[in-house]
Amino acid sequence: MALVERLASAALIGLTVAPLVVKVNPNFNVVATACLTVYIGCHRSVKPAPPSETMSKEHAMRFPFIGSAVLLSLFLLFKFLPKDLINTVLTVYFFVLGVLALSATILPWIENSLPHSWNDTEHAISLHLPYFKSVEVEFTKAQVVAGIPGTFFCVWYVLKKHWLANNTLGLAFSIQGIEMLSLGSFKIGAILLAGLFIYDIFWVFFTPVMVSVAKSFDAPIKLIFPTGDLTRPFSMLGLGDIVIPGIFVALALRFDVSRGNVKRYFHSAFAGYTAGLVVTIIVMNWFQAAQPALLYIVPGVVGFVAVHCIINGEVKPAKNLHKTTSWSKHRVTRRRTEAKKSESLHCHQRCV
């Protein structure tokens, strides 16, 4: 884990727990927390091994329709079934997901603190699931250790539904989403964001569905920020407003890595995300009403990257980027070249 990523992680942890002891401006908290989460998730998405799957054009085009179907289904469930029953089922579901996501998020920190043998898959712990004898699950000792705090926060969330436990799980979901989800190209990313741009506007401005589900859905699908105001005790930011643009920003970072650049397009995409989020907060406070964040974030992220490509005359390379496999190979090849140079230098010094 790079130093800058460690510093960003420490800042995110500090900002998350700060409202417990001091009053933090909720507008600043929303922007800073979301930006730090995107920054961390993007850097964790850059790996030597290529992702096993990337989102295709067809998946990107279907995503808004699938999201609309899920959103409308939840709205109808909350309308016709007891809210407590639905939230109980969702709590159990998110408990399991939360343990896995939080454990995976803190695993790199745990691995660096434990002996190498604890990270070795040869010494993994095997577990056979009851009633599924053919299914065997393996955990390294480091993964088991990482699961302890993950389980603690999930139990705390189930029992108390405290905003800090909610945010801890929400941040883990967001970081893992950005780290694991991979867009096939900038074109696919633009299609996905354009579809969700329309999706967000429609369900927020033209129907009560989005706001109703967000208020009824008692699960860590949103970050909650204390305001200190009794009339409006919390501000909210949906995880989709972090993860969806976040995977596009991560794409820009991996594009930079593939070309050996110093995060040029990443800086543009990240600046666009930050600007869009700031505009969202300004408009929300001006009209005192919920805003579809993607309405402002999508033009910022896509627009900043598009302008950057046009100015540098690199529209074609960005357009022809199809899979992250070549990026990873480039990165591994570059590392091997550097290692060979270093080895040659040491040999030369010994010979001298």
CA distance 244 to 194: 11
CA distance 312 to 331: 22
**Structural domain boundaries in the chain:** 3-351
CA distance 14 to 124: 33
According to DSSP, the residues that pair with 128 across neighbouring strands are 136
């300004």: which residue's tokens? 282
- Name the region of 288 (left: φ>0; alpha: ψ -120 to 50; beta: rest): left
Please report, in tens digits, the pLDDT of each residue of the chain (352 residues total). 678 888 999 999 999 999 999 999 999 999 999 999 999 999 999 877 666 568 888 999 999 999 999 999 999 999 999 988 998 999 999 999 999 999 999 998 888 877 776 776 666 666 666 666 666 677 788 888 889 999 999 999 999 989 999 999 999 999 999 999 988 788 899 999 999 999 999 998 888 898 888 888 888 999 999 988 877 888 899 999 999 999 999 999 988 888 776 778 999 999 999 999 999 999 999 988 878 899 999 999 999 999 998 998 888 777 766 544 344 444 444 444 444 444 443 443 334 3
Whether 313 and 178 have beta carbons less than 8 Å apart is answered as no
Report pTM.
0.86
CA distance 118 to 114: 6
- Give the tokens for residue 199: 């999706």
Residues with Cβ within 8 Å of residue 199, at least 6 apart in sequence: 64, 67, 68, 294
Please give the C-alpha separations between residue 234 and each of 20, 110, 218, 231, 291, in angstroms, as whole numbers. 14, 32, 14, 9, 15
Annotated catalytic residues are 200, 241
